Structure 1
Amino acid sequence: MAGDKDTLLSMGFDSARVEWALKSTGNRGLQPAMDHIIEHEGEPVPDLSAVAESAGGARRDAMDVDDDEDAEALKSLGAAANDAIEAKSIKCSECGKIFRNTALANFHAEKSGHDQFEESTEEIKPLTEEEKKQKLEELREKMAEKRAKKAVEEAKEAKINENIRRKAGKEMGKIKEDLKVKQALKEAEEKKREKIEDAKAKAAIKAQIEADKKARNEKFAREKAIRDGQPIPGEGIAAATAPAPTAASTSSGVAGKDFKETRLQIRLSTGGQPYTTSLPSDASLREVAEFLAGQTLSIDVDTVSLAQHFPRKVFTQADFSKSLKDLGLTPSAVLIATVP
């Protein structure tokens, strides 16, 4: 009906949705249309031609059924179907509500499940403007209540999803933190081990330097005593050379350990700044000569000779293929390089 449509449009409803509601309810009034809009809020509007055809068929079927029921009701009262008794409304026997026509009564039956109806002579007056406003207000309240309920449900669901996301984020953060701690511990342990090995190597080099210094001092004292005709310190050459086996024994004891790296200090017989390097203990003596050749152009790998002052030992070209470990140079040694 035009009045119901205008009323619904004045409330701000979409025109297509209003048409759908009116056709689906068979233009049975404002209340059924409003109920339809509330029930199908958020659903897409279907093809209205199919809706109209379906609603029209249902209305015709309902009218045929109602005509038969009305005839039976009149017969039971002893009156003919064409008598002057005029039914102005239909009443639900279960709840007492009165409806203007059978279409509205059928709509009520679908919603409530009631199936006991009877004709009534009570006339339903058209809604006044005040009643229409009241109906509109009720509709607005129902829609507001439904939207509020939906908003609460959506907020609740959003909160649950946020809690799940935060929990997952915390668990992932804890895993990353644990990995960082483990990596830091591993790096600290590695640095500690390297520091200990470096300290041992430095101590061994320092001891070698001190031994070389002591040997040079003893040699200088012996030569000076011989030149001056004085007694040789240490009661003779045998006494002076006696510590050598002990030092050699100590060096060989150290070399016998499984050191992965060897720290070397290489001095040139011509003087100058010494060269230091660390090589794998399995590296050959030739690699030492190659390192030295890379530091200065005056060194030739095939002609340079290497020697150790303490214990005194000169390495030949045959020793160049041997490893530092086999030559007893681990974990550290001081070598003298001589260029012919």
Structure 2
Amino acid sequence: MATDIDTLVSMGFSLNKVLLSHPEVSDDPEEEVAPAQALGTPSAEPNLDEGEIMDGEQTAQSLICNDCQKLFRDASGAERHATRTGHQNFAESTEAIKPLSEEEKKQRLLELKTRLSEKRAAREQAEIDERKQAEKIRRKAGQDLTSVKEALEAKEIKKIYDQKRKEKEDEKVAKAKIKAQIEQDKKERAAKREATKQVHQAQAQAEAIIAAQPAVKKEYTDARLQVNIYIYIYFIRVPGAGPITHTFSATSQLSEVYSFLQTQGCANAFNLSTAFPRKTFGSEDQSKSLKELNLVPSAALALTYI
């Protein structure tokens, strides 16, 4: 930008106009600065032609950069050059900068406008590129954020899936344990039923064996008789006469029972009988044993007087 300012200044525009943000460009050159000799007229020397100066009386027409041999109209141009290039070696020069012709000014102005347009277009393009880059960065950040979000969601989904799978596996293991326990209980109940069945079968077999064996009839050696005394056939108990109880041998004859009762005060003629089954013993039964008459091991007899 400093080169453009130098160009404008060299074309005759004032520095104030050049530094404006939107200068009104004019093709009219500024008034030339009066040369230094105009400030004071040297004293005329004898024998000198008109306008001729002596050696050493030359005045500075410009400033020169000893680093790059570039000429500048004034100190402000040199300062801008020093700021742009870093050159610090400047000196006064008696060489005057040739003024630009109108055609050169127009050409320089056109070139300057072209450069300014190019710079403006480059700046606009740079701004567009910057906006595009910023948009790319924004999109990339959005994509990265979306990727991070999707990764977090995927991680969360995987965590939930793993938790569900673990719960299913735990449930499966629990069901397997319950099923195994049920099977074990079934086996234990079946074993108990089988054991009970075997016990019952053993008991049944034992009972069958016992039942198959011939019954051993118990032989009684005694007969306990209770004789109740009644009057006549109506079985009216004799007042004051209680039952007579006595134990006889199973082989004793019924006549021995009659004899015993007579000794107990039953002197009158009487008969003996059983209530159930109903049977009255006669004289033909007196020679039979109590066992033969089914009065063993005990029996209740009714004594009735004839």
- Same fold by TM-score, threshold 0.5 exceeded? no
If the TM-score is normalised by the length of the shorter chain, which range does it land in? 0.3 to 0.5
TM-score by length of 2: 0.36
TM-score by length of 1: 0.33
Report the structure number with the largest CA radius of gyration: 2
